[in-house]
Structure 1
Amino acid sequence: MMERICIAADSTFDMTLEMVQQYGIEVSASYVRMDDTDYLDYPDLKQSDLFDYFRRSKKLPQTAAANPNDYEMLFKQCLENHDAVIFIAKSSGMSSCYANAVIAATEMENVYVIDSLSISSGSALLAMEAVRLKDTMSAKELVEHLTAYRDKIVGSFIIETLEYLHEGGRCSTLAYLGASALQIRQSINIRDGKLVVGKKYMGTYKRALKEFIETMLAQHELMDPSVVMISHSIQDEAMLNGLIDQIKQLNYFEKIIPLSVCAAVACHGGPNAFGLFFVHK
């Protein structure tokens, strides 16, 4: 008899409610604070609410991880009809989600917490792989497989404005003003679970996006063709469709899955951030 394994994840993996139901994944929400009120970032908080709040108040919404108690409740709920839980946590290099989930798990049997070393679609790719294989191996074997698979996931974002990073204290005033004046668009790579500054693109954001996709997918034949994921906060649907078309023109990926980024990502990347995530062969 195979173990019945429950796959669960932090809401920062950005899957839509529809996908979560389709894959049968349990979700732990994080918190967002605006005007002294705490909201859950999942499933009802919209990107536009965050951006409207910032425009109105000139203050960034504050994001906070779920606490150990939240995780403990989730794990207990999962274990009611499963033998084991594998939890995909937001990168330990970006948040205390992983640490808090580990605190909750240490008190419990058969709860495995995986540091996704990623965020957004990077964590979603890990969760999708977990669901694909959960009925074919034990929880321990699946954890081993996912830990190796995690190292093949690559992700990078480009952001239109450094305003949100600057406001959050993650980018100096000088860099912010320089980039604004010179129309420099910054890309940000996920490396070893942390956000690191990537290539700079010059000119209009439309042009920068096109170049970013070309650069990211230049060596697409080294990527697993089954799926490429988009994580974005693009506000204009026509613009998003144009970018998806650019990827389609490669005739390489079987599936292109666009996901809207959660509050934690949107609060740093601001409107119109665009990320690509894929798996190395």
Structure 2
Amino acid sequence: MKRIILTTESGADLPEDLARKHAVQVVPMHVIMDGKDYLDGDLPVEDIYEYYDRTKKIPSTAATNVHEYQEFFAKIKRDFPGCTIVHIGYTSKASVSFQSAVIASEDIDNLYLIDALNVTGGLAAIVMYAVKVLEEEPSIEPERLIDKIEAIVPKSRLAFIPGSLDFLRAGGRVSNIAYLGGALLKIKPVIELIDGKLVSTKKYRGKMSAVSEKLMSEYLSEYNIDREQLYLLYSLGLDESIKQRMDEIAKEAGFRNVRWIQAGAMISTHAGPGGFGVAGLEV
């Protein structure tokens, strides 16, 4: 049986220990800061926030390009001769990265592409679902695995509150965000993935400690999330007391496993410091 290799992008924020443990290959996206191009994963998140504090400028981001995908897939083929690659990609509605993967795949055999229509923890949840399927059914045919993954894509639910409207506005990925009013009134928008697009669905007012708890409560009421696994997301700067409270709520709600995921450099350029989110798969 030929080996199946799972791949994804750094925008999944898949923790390094999980990627390494389950042999998930991750291709980096890009952060552009002060005219210099950094690979996501090589640039410490602290440098982004320090740069903003010093210059009041927010770095931009760029997708993985076609050439990078060609080299990425070719290396996997060299390292794992005869393997089948199943790539679970960052939503095509918010980045051209997936389209670059499509172009790069044209001359590569046994390569399948899945548009996860999600980002950060929502994408990571789909990747980890695929990992679980492969572990439970190591001899599964690629086509059946793909069917399973594609069936779970619309069940991945992600909601997050950015730590800074400045960063969110600069990222330009949320078309319906009212920046000025939110900044003046201390309103914190909830961002969710709707059909692969980042959309502001609700607005909370107050401190992050209060609105994060409100987000968790409404998220768990609205979605019937599989109690086997919940992903809690944060960007550097989120208060530890908030993280402890979110753990308590998750435990009270009956989740058997909770995994915290830190936003990497690419996602942090959109979320800003001190952001919080939650992701999981509906049953």
User: Shorter-chain TM-score: what band?
Assistant: over 0.9
Q: Is the CA contact 2:86–2:112 (under 8 Å) kept in the aligned structure 1?
A: yes
Show the counterpart of 2:154: 151
- Corresponding residue for 1:121? 121
- Secondary structure, aligned partner of 2:108: coil
Q: Report the CA distance shift for 1:169/1:3 in structure 2 as closer, same or farther (over 3 A).
A: closer
Distance 1:243 1:233 in 2: 16
Q: Quote the Cα distance in structure 2 between the aligned partners of 1:176 and 1:170.
A: 13
Deviation by residue 1:131-190 (Cα, 9 ceiling, x = unmatched): 222323111211111001111111111123311123344579x93232122221110111
Given the alignment of the two structures, is residue 31 of structure 1 paired with residue 30 of structure 2, yes or no? yes
Identify the match of residue 226 of structure 1 among 225, 228, 236: 228
What are the residue-to-residue correspondences of 1:19-168 with 2, within 5 Å?
19-42=18-41, 44-80=42-78, 81=80, 82-134=82-134, 135-168=138-171
Aligned residues of 1:234 and 1:274 also touching (Cα < 8 A): no
Deviation per CA, 1:93-115: give whole Å up to 9, x if none. Answer: 11011000111111111111111
Residues 1:274 and 2:276 aligned together: yes
CA distance in 2 between counterparts of 1:216 and 1:146 reads: 23
Alignment partner for residue 244 of structure 2, among 230, 242, 246?
242
Aligned-residue CA RMSD (Å): 1.9
Q: Determine the structure 2 residue equivalent to 1:16.
A: 15
> Secondary structure of the residue that 2:200 maps to in structure 1?
strand
Q: 1:7-49 CA distances to partner (integer Å, 9 max, x unpaired)?
A: 111011101221111111111001111111111112x322211
2:221 partner SS: coil
Give per-residue Cα distances to partners, 1:51-103, cap 9 Å, x unaligned. 11122122211111111111111111222314210011110011011000111
Amino acid at match of 1:50: I
Alpha carbons 1:164, 1:269 under 8 Å: kept: yes
Q: Pick which of 180-189 and 89-98 moved more.
A: 180-189
SS in 1 for 2:211: helix
Structure 1 residue ranges without an equivalent (≥5): none
* SS of alignment partner, residue 117 of structure 1: coil
Q: 1:113 to 1:186 in 2, by over 3 A?
A: same
Paired residue type of 1:246: E
Structure 1 Cα separation of the partners of residues 68 and 174 of structure 2: 32
Q: Contact 1:63–1:263 at 8 Å: present in 2 too?
A: no
CA contact (8 A) 1:3 1:138 kept: no
Deviates more, 1:147-156 or 1:122-131: 122-131
The answer to which of 260-269 and 139-148 deviates more is: 260-269
Deviates more, 1:19-28 or 1:243-252: 243-252
**Equivalent-residue separation in structure 1 for 2:264 and 2:93 (angstroms):** 17
Q: TM-score, normalised by structure 1?
A: 0.92
Distance 1:49 1:69, change over 3 A: same
Distance 1:170 1:25 in 2: 27
Counterpart secondary structure, 1:118: coil
Give the drift of 1:236.
4.1
Amino acid at match of 1:188: I
2:265 aligned to 251, 263, 266, which one? 263
Secondary structure at 1:198's aligned position in 2? strand
Q: Secondary structure at the match of 1:197?
A: strand
- 4+ runs deviating over 6 angstroms: none
- 1:175-214 → structure 2 map (5 Å cutoff): 175-214=178-217
Give % identity. 30
Count of residues in correspondence between the two structures:
277
Structure-2 separation of matches of 1:153 and 1:262: 20
